[in-house]
Amino acid sequence: MTHVRNAAMALVALLLVVAGAWTSWNSAQHVLLAKGREHGTLTVTGCTEETCSGAFAPEDPSSTRRTLTIARSVAAEKGETIPVVVKPGTDEGVRTGWGGGLHAWLPLGGAFLLAAPLIGGGLRLPRTAWSLAGAGGAVLVAAFVAL
């Protein structure tokens, strides 16, 4: 019965980490693999509960100016200018630089924090759990400081 419990705990912890990585990669790929994508700055004109929108000024002079939206973060305020990369085929931008990269990896950091008690208590691997929790906490704190 112990092996079944350990397998179940490991499966749930793995599911949490994979879900966090999958969710993070949705935005992080645009920040990490930004070569060949449209870059520019977004001047925030307004925010809703989930998104902020504003005027996009592309770095390439041949591109047209338009309105973009980005995921809302605590650091986005009206009138602020944010460096962004445009998701291909959309009018959605992703914040670039250290702040944007760390913001994109927040779901993975949260998944690490959620999986740590399962690994420490359920699988009885306290060093691994503390390492995972430390990595998750570091991502969250670094994102907070960078933004």
pLDDT tens per residue, range 84-126: 999 988 999 999 988 888 989 999 999 999 999 999 999 999 9
Q: What CATH number is given for 39-95 in this structure?
A: 2.40.50
What does the alpha-carbon distance between residue 106 and residue 72 come to, in Å, rounded to a whole number?
13
* Residue given tokens 């980005």 in the structure block: 70
CA angle 89/90/96 to nearest 5° reads 105
Amino acid at position 131, single letter: S
Residues 6+ apart with CB under 8 A from 95: 31, 70, 73, 82, 83, 84, 103
Residue 74's pLDDT is 61
Pick from 18, 26, 16, 34: nearest CA to 71 = 26
Give tens-digit pLDDT for 16-63. Answer: 999 999 999 998 999 988 888 899 999 999 988 888 899 999 998 888
pLDDT at 63: 80
Cα(56)–Cα(19) distance, rounded to whole angstroms?
A: 31
Q: Give me the residue spans of the domains in the chain.
A: 1-34+98-147, 39-95
Angle CA(131)–CA(147)–CA(130) in degrees, nearest 5? 10
Strand pairing class (81-86; 51-58):
unpaired
Q: Which residue has the tokens 């570091």?
A: 138
Give this prediction's pTM.
0.85
**Six-digit token pair at 2?**
């112990």
Q: What is the pLDDT of residue 66?
A: 87
